[in-house]
């Protein structure tokens, strides 16, 4: 991918877990950045005209046989290079230095000591700075022309620099937040050393992406499954900006959506953005398929299968389609790498679309694939999507189907929708929505006795759950203030006729999951 208009910094990927994070930090500095495999030749790189190259870290040791090496000619391009961790080691090896590769590897915090105050990479960094270090292999003899500017007690050559060639290397990970001044170092490299102009922002992303989508799609048609969530909404609006009515969106109402959600989606995308929208109101089909089913896996299977059938049925009504657009984000792309074959990406089918049926031959269009979630939210704002949509918590594909515990009926779903709406409204009113990763309500198939007015009630129990998390792999329960809990409980019992008892879930993940199912 070539972006001639903006200065670009290439991240040469040696299989690091953090390659995307490096690219993201560079973009945060206002400079466009993309990742290319380490096998990219010097000639290809020269054609891309990057203003700088960052060698990522990687799982290999330079001492391993067949460990990944860049094209040696990259060092003759006259382009500044920053090597990070493995990137430093491989650069040192290629340039005639030596790397010590002990058996034992350690990871952890360390304090970087600046030993040469004229360092260009460490400009503005305090003399002692916390870094996230991977001890293990380390340079024990620098290549010719380098000087040492930073060290730690266990690693003398933690930062090395060659100003003449503009080659720099760090043993630690400046891209992670645990390296307190890491972003300053990345900015020093990108802005001061590469002299990139910091003129890239989400507006530029839109401009570039609109051009790219137009050139890929030409006069063909794109289909996008709209769920009402952030990712598919942003992808759809971006693609719509590029190709207008060549995009058709399919929106399936499975009857398991939140209160007013279907109407909101129709209003926003159909009326406000004026998109072609194929709406399938499949509520009754879903409810009848789910009748009498309480076992969680059975429910999921029914919901998943019916969604796929409904989606493709609608798609067939949309005329000839050539592309399927998906709001796949970087974290959805699971990277699996082999040291010799370079990085390869497998796509997680997280949009519940599954494999394509035989008769539908579509190419994938994934305009958000290089972005992180918060970048996608910024992009959504820039595209004019409302804040309530852009900052939305994740919502599972099977929707309230995994939150209506026991048998799913229209009546119970309506009860749950009311509970959920009150809970979310109170969290928003308290200004806590953005602090929380996900807030959800479940309806339990358990009745308890209560008293209301003069009468005894016998109604269902609901649970409220709010969690903080980085990536949903682990989560902690959110310490919701008592006043907010109290307002939720009192409103729910007063306003929702099917419920007379409210519980707050204080289980972390693990051992609990986020959804109850």
CB of 230 to ligand XMP, least distance (A): 12
Q: Which of residues 276-305 bind ligand XMP (CB under 6 A)?
A: none
- Angle at 271 (CA atoms; ends 269, 272), nearest 5 degrees: 70
Is residue 85 flagged as an active site residue? yes
- Cis amide linkage into residue 511, ω under 30° from 0: yes
Q: Which of residues 468-497 bind ligand XMP (CB under 6 A)?
A: 472
Helix (H) or strand (E) holding 85: none
Q: Using CB under 6 A, which of 133, 222, 262, 514 touches ligand XMP?
A: 514
Helix (H) or strand (E) holding 498: none
CB of 227 to ligand XMP, least distance (A): 8
- What whole-number distance in Å separates Cα of residue 485 and Cα of residue 504? 8
- What whole-number distance in Å separates Cα of residue 37 and Cα of residue 52? 15
Per CB under 6 A, 225 contacts ligand XMP? no
Q: Which of these ranges, 65-73, 327-335, 336-344, 507-515, lies near ligand XMP under the rule CB under 6 A?
A: 507-515
CB of 210 to ligand XMP, least distance (A): 27
Displacement of CA 223 from its chain's centroid (Å): 22
CB of 319 to ligand XMP, least distance (A): 28
Contact 114, 125 (CB under 8 A): yes
CB of 512 to ligand XMP, least distance (A): 8
Displacement of CA 112 from its chain's centroid (Å): 30
CB of 325 to ligand XMP, least distance (A): 17
Per CB under 6 A, 509 contacts ligand XMP? yes
DSSP per-residue codes, 235-258: HHHHHHHHHGGGEEEEEEE-S-SP
Q: Which is nearer to ligand XMP, 12 or 475 (CB)?
A: 475
- What whole-number distance in Å separates Cα of residue 50 and Cα of residue 32? 10
Contact 259, 420 (CB under 8 A): yes
Q: Which is nearer to ligand XMP, 70 or 396 (CB)?
A: 396
Q: How many residues bind ligand XMP (CB under 6 A)?
A: 11
Is residue 173 flagged as an active site residue? yes
Find the catalytic residue in 161, 175, 209, 370: 175
Provide the terminal-to-terminal Cα distance of the chain, rounded to the nearest Å.
42
Find the catalytic residue in 60, 85, 404, 493: 85
Q: Which is nearer to ligand XMP, 8 or 233 (CB)?
A: 233
Q: Are strands 98-100 and 138-141 parallel, antiparallel or unpaired?
A: antiparallel
CB of 397 to ligand XMP, least distance (A): 3
Q: Which two tokens stand for residue 56?
A: 């990522």
Residue that has been written with the tokens 């009326």 in this structure: 271
Residues in contact with ligand XMP, shown as a per-residue x/- string from 386 to 425 under the rule CB under 6 A: --------x-xxx---------------------------
Phi then psi for 184, rounded to 5 degrees? -60, -40
Q: Which is nearer to ligand XMP, 122 or 400 (CB)?
A: 400
Is residue 155 flagged as an active site residue? no
Q: Which is nearer to ligand XMP, 156 or 394 (CB)?
A: 394
Q: Using CB under 6 A, which of 197, 263, 274, 513 touches ligand XMP?
A: 513
Contact 54, 70 (CB under 8 A): no
Q: Which residues neighbour 513 within 8 Å (Cβ) at sequence distance 6 or greater?
A: none
Q: Which two tokens stand for residue 179?
A: 């390296």
Contact 432, 455 (CB under 8 A): no
| Packing angle of the helix pair 373-382, 202-217 (nearest 10 deg) | 90
Q: Which is nearer to ligand XMP, 1 or 473 (CB)?
A: 473
Per CB under 6 A, 448 contacts ligand XMP? no
Q: Which is nearer to ligand XMP, 120 or 509 (CB)?
A: 509
Q: Which is nearer to ligand XMP, 241 or 300 (CB)?
A: 300
CB of 114 to ligand XMP, least distance (A): 42
Find the catalytic residue in 173, 351, 460, 462: 173
* Helices vs. strands in the chain: H and E counts, helices first: 13, 22
Residue that has been written with the tokens 């089909």 in this structure: 285
Helix (H) or strand (E) holding 289: helix 283-290
Beta bridge partners of 308: none
Q: Using CB under 6 A, which of 89, 93, 254, 438 touches ligand XMP?
A: 438
Q: Which is nearer to ligand XMP, 394 or 450 (CB)?
A: 394
Q: Which residues neighbour 394 within 8 Å (Cβ) at sequence distance 6 or greater?
A: 229, 437, 438, 472
Q: Which of residues 311-370 bind ligand XMP (CB under 6 A)?
A: 350
CB of 398 to ligand XMP, least distance (A): 5
Q: Which of residues 106-165 bind ligand XMP (CB under 6 A)?
A: none
Q: Which residues are catalytic?
A: 85, 173, 175
- Binding residues for ligand XMP, per CB under 6 A? 350, 394, 396-398, 438, 472, 509, 513-515
């Amino acid at each position: 991918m070539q972006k001639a208009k903006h200065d670009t910094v290439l991240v040469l990927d040696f299989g690091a877990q953090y390659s995307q994070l490096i690219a993201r930090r560079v973009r945060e500095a206002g400079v466009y950045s993309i990742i290319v495999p380490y096998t990219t030749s010097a000639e290809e790189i020269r054609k891309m005209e990057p203003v700088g190259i960052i060698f990522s870290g990687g799982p290999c040791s330079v001492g391993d046989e067949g460990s990944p090496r860049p094209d040696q000619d990259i060092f003759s391009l006259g382009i500044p290079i920053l090597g990070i961790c493995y990137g430093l080691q491989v650069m040192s090896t290629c340039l005639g230095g030596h790397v010590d590769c002990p058996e034992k590897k350690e990871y952890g915090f360390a304090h970087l000591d600046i030993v040469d105050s004229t360092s260009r990479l460490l400009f503005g960094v305090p003399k002692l700075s916390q870094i996230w270090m991977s001890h293990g292999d380390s340079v024990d003899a620098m290549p010719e022309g380098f000087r040492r500017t930073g060290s730690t007690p266990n690693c003398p050559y933690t930062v090395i620099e060659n100003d003449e060639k503009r080659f720099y290397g760090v043993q630690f990970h400046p891209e992670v937040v645990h390296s307190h001044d890491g972003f300053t170092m990345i900015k020093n490299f990108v802005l001061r050393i590469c002299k990139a102009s910091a003129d890239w922002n989400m507006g530029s992303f839109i401009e570039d992406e609109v051009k790219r989508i137009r050139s890929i799609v030409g006069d063909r048609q794109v289909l996008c499954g709209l769920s009402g969530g952030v990712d598919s909404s942003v992808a759809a609006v971006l693609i719509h900006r590029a190709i207008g009515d060549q995009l058709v969106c399919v929106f399936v109402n499975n009857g398991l959506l939140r209160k007013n959600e279907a109407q909101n989606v129709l209003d926003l995308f159909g009326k406000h953005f004026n998109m072609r929208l194929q709406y399938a109101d499949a509520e009754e089909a879903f409810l009848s398929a789910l009748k009498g089913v309480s076992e969680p896996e059975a429910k999921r299977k029914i919901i998943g299968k019916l969604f796929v059938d409904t989606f493709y049925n609608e798609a067939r009504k949309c005329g000839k389609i050539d592309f399927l657009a998906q709001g796949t984000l970087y974290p959805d792309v699971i990277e699996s790498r082999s040291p010799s074959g370079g990085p390869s990406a497998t796509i997680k089918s997280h949009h519940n679309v599954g494999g394509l049926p035989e008769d539908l031959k579509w190419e994938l269009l994934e305009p958000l694939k290089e972005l992180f979630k918060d970048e996608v939210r910024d992009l959504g704002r820039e595209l004019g999507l409302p804040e309530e949509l852009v900052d939305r918590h994740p919502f599972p594909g099977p929707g309230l189907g995994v939150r209506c515990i026991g048998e799913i009926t229209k009546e119970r779903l309506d009860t749950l929708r009311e509970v959920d709406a009150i809970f979310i409204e109170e969290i928003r009113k308290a200004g806590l929505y953005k602090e929380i990763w996900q807030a959800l309500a479940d309806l339990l198939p358990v009745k308890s006795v209560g008293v209301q007015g003069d009468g005894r009630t016998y109604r269902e129990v609901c649970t409220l759950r709010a969690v903080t998390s980085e990536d949903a792999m682990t989560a902690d329960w959110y310490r919701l203030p008592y006043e907010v809990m109290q307002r939720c409980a009192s409103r729910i019992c007063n306003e929702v006729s099917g419920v007379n008892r409210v519980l707050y879930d204080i289980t972390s993940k693990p051992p609990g999951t986020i959804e109850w199912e």
